[in-house]
Amino acid sequence: MKIFRRQFLSLAGAAISAPSVPLIVVAQTPRGTPKLTEILRKDLEGQGQVVQETVILAGEFGPGSETPWHIHPGAQEVLYVQEGSLTVEVERLGMLAIKAGETYLIAADVPHRVRNESPTAAAKSVVIYSRSAKDKPLFVAVKKAT
């Protein structure tokens, strides 16, 4: 329990200090590529290993940046936009703009991409993956089906 408490306190401290990080970090990210920082990766306990692991990432999308089309094998994705807005495009479902304070759920193994359509403003997000199989890669680039 002490280890979990320490991890929680570390995560809480990072979350509190994150807004004070200067935008210089965003400026250093190559245009066109979002910056993802892993916040937590922990095996789940006491639930029969239906979900083996949870991974939490902080995303920084510079103006005009986007992810390639990709899937998360065996991993459900929850996208929470902290600042700005992001456009999520999910194969066969279309596009949806997600504004600050909103979330979007993407099922496992579904091709999708995320982009910041603003030419001037950066966007920040938190992404949570619930993985059913740790032996599979978390991110696999794919081509969009036509």
User: Is residue 86 situated within a structural domain?
Assistant: yes
Q: What is the CATH number of the domain that holds 45?
A: 2.60.120.10
Distance CA 84, CA 34 (A): 14
Taking the chain, what is the end-to-end CA distance rounded to the nearest angstrom?
49
Sequence-distant (≥ 6) Cβ neighbours of residue 106 within 8 angstroms: 72, 76, 77, 78, 79, 88, 90, 112
Paired tokens of 50: 């239906």
Domain count along the chain: 1
Instruction: Say if CB 140 and CB 70 are below 8 A apart.
Output: yes
What is the predicted pLDDT for the residue at 41?
72
Distance CA 105, CA 83 (A): 18
What is the predicted pLDDT for the residue at 4?
45
Q: DSSP letters along 97-139, please? A: EEETT-EEEE-TT--EEEE---SS--EEEEEEEEES-TTS-S-
29 vs 143, residue with greater confidence: 143
- For residue 19, give the DSSP letter: G
Q: Does pLDDT of 126 surpass 80? A: yes
Residue-number span of the structural domain to which 60 is assigned: 2-141
User: Is residue 146 situated within a structural domain?
Assistant: no
Confidence of residue 48 (pLDDT cuts 50, 70, 90): low
User: Is residue 115 situated within a structural domain?
Assistant: yes
- Lowest-confidence range among 41-55, 90-104, 113-127, 131-145? 41-55
pTM: 0.69
111 vs 8, residue with greater confidence: 111
43 vs 94, residue with greater confidence: 94
What is the predicted pLDDT for the residue at 109?
92
Distance CA 47, CA 144 (A): 35
Instruction: Say if CB 53 and CB 44 are below 8 A apart.
Output: yes
